[in-house]
Amino acid sequence: MAHLLVVESWVGSMSRLLPKALGEGGHDFTFLTRDLRHYLRSAPEGTDHPLLTARNIITAPTNDVEALLPQVERLHGALGFDGVVTSCDYYLPTAARIAARLGLPGPAPEAMENACRKDATRRVLADAGVPGPRFAVCADGAEAAVAALGLGYPLVVKPVDLCAGMLVRRVDDERQLAEACRALADFPYNARGQRRASHILLEEFLQGPEVSVETVTFRGAVTVVGVTDKSLGGATAFVETGHMFPAALGPEDLAAVTATAVAAGAALGLDDVVAHTEIKLTAEGPRVVEVNPRPAGNRITELIRHVTGIDLAAACVDVALGREPALHPRDTGLRSAAIGFLVPDTAGTLASFDGAAAVREADGVLEAQFAEAGRAVEAADSNNGYLGHIMAGDAAEFGARRRVETLLSGVRPRLVRS
């Protein structure tokens, strides 16, 4: 049994997958947080609350790394940690810094910092010759307006340090660019109370389907677990509306996207890490959208487990402990699995869902979850605004996506307009 230090986790689907992996691995954990109130809510999806299984819950200044490190050293002397892990994007560099300070396994802190900052990722990949969009890093909206003239519209405006597609926008002209830049300036702190960097990332708008490459790197050896296809919606926003694993790619495209993802991870110096690299398949070849040095979100990890039996949450724990992860696929009876999200496009109060009961009873459904009545709803502008999802599998081939789309078409949320 190992004892892990878990730093500010329980976000998204990993809120149940990480503690599940810890428990199934026979491990226990100490939980570190700056604000326990952030976690005093109902347990995810009806399960026992993850913090009930913690050996210790300790309040610490997790947003102040320099103050945090000596405190963690003292904790390590008293409690003894075997690894450090987090499931929250905003604390990945912190976890790497802690592991390095304590002499525990983990990725290089500089590599994690560069991978978690979109502007740094762009510069590192460009210097290494890894293909991506043309880009500019701007100090403010005025500088962005000048840079946009050189890049040419349409463009993608991104914050350099947010996740889940928050405030990522396509802009087609100066007016839209100014609006997007104002929105970034009006959002000075992230959801964890961390002061955001004010820089603005402008990128060439890439045409083509998007996929993600799921990899595990352990002691310099990269394992490509597979490639997931992605569908996007949300007009000027980039809201993920669904995924299927594995992606139905031909051998040439499959080889090209996996080689690009491996090159991106190598350029960033990522090792002892599970990674989720998003790539656009353009007419000119694969282009890196971003590199996420953690398991994929939006239940992609669950799609992979249903098809291959590989548990990427468990792999994340293993590499944090310096142990070789189990990455050998097994026959699960499914050839593909897909998920589709209910993405609201209008505002109101959720009253009910039409068709939800029939979906839960349909053949091939792996998960069907819907928001509770009474929820306030806004038109989704990021991956944080879903009203539910449907996941289904296909035992024959790549039919899971079609199955999910059919099921989604039979579900309709009823909103009471405000």
Low-confidence ranges of the chain (pLDDT < 70): 11-12, 42-46, 234, 418
Fold category of 3-104 in CATH: Rossmann fold (3.40.50)
Domains 206-332 and 334-418 share a fold: yes
Burial class (CB in 10 A: 0-12, 13-18, 19+), 70: exposed
pLDDT of the residue at 43: 64
For residues 211 and 281, give the distance between their C-alpha atoms in angstroms, rounded to a whole number.
8
> What are the residue boundaries of the structural domains of the chain, listed by start?
3-104, 133-204, 206-332, 334-418
Q: Token pair for residue 254?
A: 């499959």
pLDDT of the residue at 39: 84
For residues 12 and 9, give the distance between their C-alpha atoms in angstroms, rounded to a whole number.
9
* pLDDT tens digits, one per residue of 192-215: 999 999 999 999 999 999 999 999
pLDDT of the residue at 117: 97
pLDDT of the residue at 50: 81
Residues 6+ apart with CB under 8 A from 36: 57, 59
Q: Which CATH superfamily is domain 133-204 in?
A: ATP-grasp fold, A domain (3.30.1490.20)
Q: How crowded is residue 371: how many other Cβ atoms within 10 Å of its Cβ?
A: 15
pLDDT of the residue at 15: 73
Q: Look at domain 206-332 and name its CATH class.
A: alpha beta
Q: Token pair for residue 222?
A: 């990269």
* pLDDT tens digits, one per residue of 385-416: 899 999 999 999 999 999 999 999 999 999 99
**Count, residues in the chain:** 418
Pick the CATH number of 334-418 from 3.40.50.2300, 3.30.1330.60, 3.30.470.20, 1.10.3290.10: 3.30.470.20
Residues paired with 367 in a beta bridge: 391
pTM for this entry: 0.95
Select from 309, 204, 212 the least CA-distant residue to 264: 212
Phi, psi (degrees; rounded to nearest 5) at 295 = -60, 150
Mean pLDDT of the chain: 94
